[in-house]
Amino acid sequence: MAITAAPLDKSLASREVGRPARIMRLRRMAQQKPLGAIAATLLMLVTVLALAAPHVTPSRYDHQDLTATLEGPTRGHMLGTDELGRDSFSRIVYGARVSLGVGLAAVVLGLAIGITTGLICGYAGGVTDLAAQRVMDAMLAMPLLLTAMVIVTVLGASVRSVIIALGVTVVPGVNRVVRGSVLGVKASLYVDAARALGAPSFRIVLRHVLPNILAPIIVAASVTMGFAIITEASLSFLGMGVPPPFPTWGGMLGSSGISGFAQQPWLAIFPGVAISAVVLAFNLLGDTLRDLLDPRLRS
């Protein structure tokens, strides 16, 4: 009697075949864009450290050891301690939670408003577009940091106020990117065909316009994330950011002061390196995504 093999699960087989292909594709992309791969790896590492902060830090961010104040890097405190004996490494890792969390929430808020207004302005045009762009021009005419400071002053220092302030400063840039992309897509033949078939504007925008402008939106979101982090650090440095006892990278820079930096440079060097590395990583990731998603820039 002939023995027949049991049929393989087609979905399982396709997943097993597709997995090496995805790995090879990611490896090829990393070889073509090494800076983007390094940036993505660094951001993943910072995110993992922030999420696992209680398990990777020697103490809580607010734990004080008054017998070890202003110590330099040692075996017990690898990045030193501040004037209250708090471990700098723990505060930097917990500060990553604040910087990434506040930055992500602000970018989501800014993207929601900027994408919505950009779609309306780009597709509707006319008086609506003209009035909205004058508002965006007025917002861009003021320094964005000054706008954020005014909003935080009016609303009061809190995490919510910082998120709202950063989200508002993100809106003009996102609006311009989305509006320009919509103006290009709106003139496409498939949009004219959908309009000729009687499709409502709302359906055309969601079904035909928005999916075709996702690439510039993704790039803008990545670059805007770096802007939000450095703006939050600037507000915290000026004492207008996330209030204590939450640690922030900008707040750690501000608390050291000029005299403190001269005597205990580690208090400012390590938070400054963290801000610079994360912001640079987001910018490099945005450039890499632009090269990969824009068909005109593909080699």
pLDDT tens profile 26-67:
677 777 778 888 989 999 999 999 999 888 888 888 888 777
Q: Is residue 27 part of a domain?
A: no
CB 182 within 8 A of CB 116: no
Residues in contact with 6: Cβ distance below 8 Å, sequence separation at least 6, in sequence order: none
The verdict on residue 152 lying in a domain is: yes
Classify residue 23: in a domain, yes or no.
no
Which stretches of the chain score pLDDT less than 70? Answer: 1-19, 26, 256-262, 294-299
Q: Which residues pair with 81 in a beta bridge?
A: 87
Residue 146 lies in a domain: yes
CA 171 to mean position of chain CA atoms: 14
Total domain count, the chain: 1
Is there a domain that residue 29 lies in?
Answer: no
pLDDT at 172: 93
Asked, for residue 181, whether it belongs to a domain, the answer is yes
Report DSSP letters for 193-214, one per residue: HHHHTT--HHHHIIIIIGGGGH
Quick one: three-class SS letters along 134-173? HHHHHHHHCCHHHHHHHHHHHHCCCHHHHHHHHHHHHHHH
Question: What CATH number corresponds to the domain at position 200?
Answer: 1.10.3720.10
Give domain status of residue 8, yes or no. no
In this structure, is residue 9 part of a structural domain? no
- Indicate whether this model's pTM tops 0.75: yes
Range of the domain at 221: 34-68+78-293
